[in-house]
Amino acid sequence: MIEIKNLHKKFGDLEVLKGVNLTVASGEVVCIIGPSGSGKSTVLRCINRLETPTAGTVIVDGHDIMDPRTDINYVRTEAGMVFQQFNLFPHMSVLDNVILGPLKVRRMPRAEAEHLGYDLLAKVGLGSKAQAYPEQLSGGQKQRVAIARALALQPKVILFDEPTSALDPELVGEVLEVMKKLAAEGMTMIVVTHEMGFAREVADRVIFIDEGVIQEVNSPKEFFSNPENPRLRDFLGKIVGK
Amino acid sequence: MAFQFEPSVVIDTLPMLMRGVWYTIYLTVGGLFFGFLLGVATGLMKLARPFLVRKLADLYVELVRGTPMLVQAMFLYYGVPMAVGLRIPPLIAGVIVIAINSGAYIAEIVRGAIQSINVGQTEAGRSIGLTRAQTMRYIIWPQAFKRMIPPLGNQFIISLKDTSLLMVIGVGELLRTGQEIVAVNFRAFEVYMAVAMVYLVMTMSISKALKILENRLINKTSGKRA
């Protein structure tokens, strides 16, 4: 589904990614953890080319995102994204947020798009909020709308960029529940997160990124109970210590 | 002879100013209509990717902002015809000057409002597969437009008042009409007071109209601040 080879990314003189290699299979849930500034969000943002890689290749469902012939807007409909800050469109109702993509990108008729929108909002538990505006929602509700918006294009993979990091603690659960449901349905997911419980329970593989390279890839069980990499041991020690 | 204020002269002058009022409205509406289009185009050019496009927009804004409007008006009306041998009617020249002048300032308003929208909005738009243009049209512009309204109101009022400068190129607008009345009755105090009152009514109408527009846009998103 996704193939990342020797991915490099520089911001000016700062080399954030120094050769990342990662393959994600269809239906797989991969969690990426790592200290802040380690480059984990950058990897995610290179997959749908919100950041342009400096070097390396990224193949999404057979499309090389660096190939000038690739229609990046199409690739982005295949790889939905959920942001830490939700980034809902504040001037549109919840329903319009969800169906904007289907309407304008897929050119779906409005009635059909609205039908899809209501279904997706029901799926994330917000069927009654379709006509509300984002500012009337809690953080957890906003993030669930953002997930519905990403799902509206029927993507093959969803990239989650710290989806619960901006939420009040009591709202984290409702978002993770929706994500677990998606994982159970077989959605391919790449999740940058600090939620170790989620990673342990849902992920097929957990990846530790530090200093711009993948330091460890392992099953959640091995990853948390028997980490090999000394940096990872150190990192987990600090988190568990909290 | 002691000065004696005659309120009746102020009242009598008002209807005589009407012809000038129409010219002033014509100059303001026409100038701002084209100025707005020019300003939006230039504002977007300032945010475009090609270097040359950005520089072109910068040059226009710098030229207009860096020279007095009075000089621009006289250059266009008296100067340009000497070079191209084509005389522009004063009213048309006036509309052009207001358009070119307000366009430069509106460009900065447009650019600033667009840049003030969080980059996350653009990223969210692009992440669902919208093109750059679609993202601007459906996501950035509606939000930015709301933020433009107060500074645009400011600019509209400035441009309305600036039309008074166009008397130097012979447009029979409000101030010039007043001046002509003074030339006859010598009641400068009363006549210019009446002129000032008419300007005030017009500028206050602009403020009020934009306030209503702003409230409408805000209510549409149920209390969302711009």
pLDDT in tens, A104-116: 999 999 999 999 9
Q: Which two tokens stand for residue A129?
A: 């909020």
- CA A221, A184, A149, B134 torsion-angle sign: positive
pLDDT in tens, A5-23: 999 999 999 999 999 999 9
pLDDT in tens, A187-238: 999 999 999 999 999 999 999 999 899 999 999 998 988 888 888 988 988 8
Stretch A50-62: mean pLDDT, rounded?
A: 93
pLDDT for the residue numbered B1 = 67
Cβ <8 Å between A135 and B124: no
Is the separation of the CB atoms in A168 and A10 below 8 Å? no
pLDDT at A242 over 60: no
Q: Which residues of A touch B224 (CB under 8 A)?
A: 90-91, 133, 135
**Judging by DSSP bridges, how do beta strands A188-192 and A157-161 pair with one another?**
parallel
- CA B152, B155, B161, B167 torsion-angle sign: negative
ipTM comes to 0.91
Q: How confident is the model at residue B33 (pLDDT cuts 50, 70, 90)?
A: very high
Stretch B57-66: mean pLDDT, rounded?
A: 96
pLDDT in tens, B182-218: 999 999 999 999 999 999 999 999 999 999 998 888 7
Cβ <8 Å between A90 and B222: no
Cβ <8 Å between B120 and A85: yes
- Cα separation, A193 vs B1, whole angstroms: 87
Stretch A49-56: mean pLDDT, rounded?
A: 93
β-partners of residue A101 are: none
**Residue A12 phi, psi (nearest 5):** 65, -125
Cβ <8 Å between B131 and A73: yes
Cβ <8 Å between B129 and A133: no
Cβ <8 Å between B128 and A77: yes
Q: Which two tokens stand for residue B111?
A: 């650019």
- Cα separation, A38 vs B128, whole angstroms: 26
- Cα separation, B187 vs B181, whole angstroms: 8
pLDDT in tens, A78-87: 999 999 999 9
Strands (E), A147-187: 157-161
Chain A: closest CA distance from residue B180 (Å): 51
pLDDT at B221 over 70: no
Q: Which residues of B touch A145 (CB under 8 A)?
A: none
Q: Which residues of A touch B129 (CB under 8 A)?
A: 73-74, 76-77, 101, 105, 153
Stretch B54-81: mean pLDDT, rounded?
A: 96
Sheet containing strand A188-192, edge to edge, reads A79-82, A157-161, A188-192, A29-33, A205-210, A213-218
Gyration radius of chain A over CA positions = 18
Q: How confident is the model at residue B224 (pLDDT cuts 50, 70, 90)?
A: very low
CA dihedral A121, A195, A25, A36 (to 10 degrees): 110
Chain A: closest CA distance from residue B111 (Å): 19
Share of chain B above pLDDT 90, in %: 88
- Cα separation, A202 vs A200, whole angstroms: 6
Q: How confident is the model at residue B164 (pLDDT cuts 50, 70, 90)?
A: very high
pLDDT for the residue numbered B222 = 52
pLDDT for the residue numbered B2 = 81
pTM score: 0.88
pLDDT for the residue numbered B162 = 96
pLDDT for the residue numbered A159 = 96
User: In this structure, which amino acid lies at residue A104?
Assistant: K
Residue that has been written with the tokens 């050019």 in this structure = B45
Is the separation of the CB atoms in B154 and B167 below 8 Å? no
Q: Which of A76-80, B59-63, B146-150, B218-222 has the lowest mean pLDDT?
A: B218-222
Q: Please give the residue of chain A at the shortest CA–CA distance from B124.
A: A87
pLDDT in tens, A121-162: 999 999 999 999 999 999 999 999 999 999 999 999 999 999
- Cα separation, B34 vs B40, whole angstroms: 10
- The DSSP result for A115-180, as a single string, is HHHHHHHHHTT-GGGTTS-GGGS-HHHHHHHHHHHHHTT--SEEEEESTTTTS-HHHHHHHHHHHH
- The DSSP result for A179-193, as a single string, is HHHHHHTT-EEEEE-
Q: Which two tokens stand for residue B40?
A: 């939006």
Q: How confident is the model at residue A60 (pLDDT cuts 50, 70, 90)?
A: very high
Kindly report the length of chain A. Answer: 242
pLDDT for the residue numbered B216 = 87
- Cα separation, B87 vs B75, whole angstroms: 12
Q: Which two tokens stand for residue B25?
A: 């409205």
